[in-house]
Chain A
Amino acid sequence: MKSLAELEAIRNKVVSNVTMRKDDHAVRVVVGMATCGIAAGARPVMSAFVEEIGKRNLEHVSVVQTGCIGVCRLEPIVEVLVPGEEKVTYVKMTPEKARRVVAEHLVNGRPVKEYTIGEADK
């Protein structure tokens, strides 16, 4: 069973690591979580990102949520923002697709083209 004492140990570990980190190259994963996103399945998608990024310990990546992005029919929508690069918008996401985006885009730096909005209606 997880205990609050364990949380304290995690906290201390994080504090000792935090000074070594460079936050100026932060990558952001933005998940649309309005009613449309939630209804289309955004919640498990967001959790898949959080879990996969946590397991791989990608400290430069943060997962955040936003409201309705405006193309409800293509939800769940996820935007990946890498500083210095063009924004990549992924559409009709699933937890499986999310894990692949983490491996190929966030780890290896190659966007998964077939999941992007440009490919959606082809």
Chain B
Amino acid sequence: MKEISLHILDIMQNSVAANASLIELEVIEDVEQDILSFKVTDNGKGMSEEMIAKVIDPFTTGRTTRKVGLGIPLTKAAAEMTGGYIKITSKPGEGTVFFALFGYSHIDRQPLGDMAQTMHQIITSFEDVDFIYRHVINGKEFLLDTREIKKILGGVSLKENDVSLWIYEYLKEGEKEIALK
């Protein structure tokens, strides 16, 4: 993975695989505190303590648990390389919170990358899932709640060419608004 936004895409796919109906993503960049963090909160089926230990370690993960593999270990390595860490909290039946922290100015920190592309793809690929996306850069916020969009669309698919392109442009503009000048 070359970008943190790719790790985010991969982690959110786990939430989808865990049958979440609502996935919240919060990305925070704070130059002063020298941190970049992301948090994925879902209401999927959750994991036991043993399962959490398993998904973090690539070598004890078997093929029987298809929803896990190299994704989480890759994110863990990328975070730790920058003096950061990952933390997974989960309760079976309630959902999972995945948190990753990166050292903002660390030379090994990957760029955040294209968040508009990541969000557009996950939103339009899994229409049955609602997403709340919040990106804060030095206090400037961009927020997107797909429940709001779906209410306006009233049953029209997010995959419709015009709708899909609008969402993509909306995300790109939102990201541009809060970007560091």
Asked if residues A14 and B1 are in contact (CB atoms below 8 Å), the reply is no
Q: Does B159 contact A (CB under 8 A)?
A: yes
Which residues A1-24 have CB closer than 8 A to chain B?
Answer: 1-2, 4, 6-8, 10-11, 13-15, 18
* Choice from B74, B162, B173 contacting A10 with Cβ under 8 Å: B162
Closest approach, in angstroms, between the C-beta of A2 and any C-beta of chain B? 4
Q: Does B148 contact A (CB under 8 A)?
A: yes
Asked if residues B118 and A43 are in contact (CB atoms below 8 Å), the reply is yes
Kindly report which residue of chain A lies nearest to residue B117, judged by CB atoms. Answer: A47
Q: Does A89 contact B (CB under 8 A)?
A: no
Closest approach, in angstroms, between the C-beta of B2 and any C-beta of chain A? 8
Interface size class of A (residues with CB under 8 A): 20 to 34
Binding site secondary structure of chain A:
helix
Supposing A38-B1, A38-B9 touch, asked if A54 and B148 sit within 8 A by C-beta, the answer is no
Asked if residues B156 and A14 are in contact (CB atoms below 8 Å), the reply is yes
B-side contacts of A14, CB under 8 Å: 156, 160, 162-163
Asked if residues A35 and B70 are in contact (CB atoms below 8 Å), the reply is yes
Interface residues of A (CB under 8 A from B): 1-2, 4, 6-8, 10-11, 13-15, 18, 33-35, 38-39, 43-44, 46-47, 50-51, 53-55, 57-59, 62-65
Instruction: Name 20 A/B residue pairs within 8 A (Cβ), A-sorted.
Output: A2-B166, A4-B149, A6-B166, A11-B154, A11-B156, A15-B156, A33-B121, A34-B13, A35-B69, A35-B71, A38-B10, A39-B74, A43-B114, A43-B117, A44-B117, A47-B117, A50-B120, A50-B168, A54-B161, A54-B164
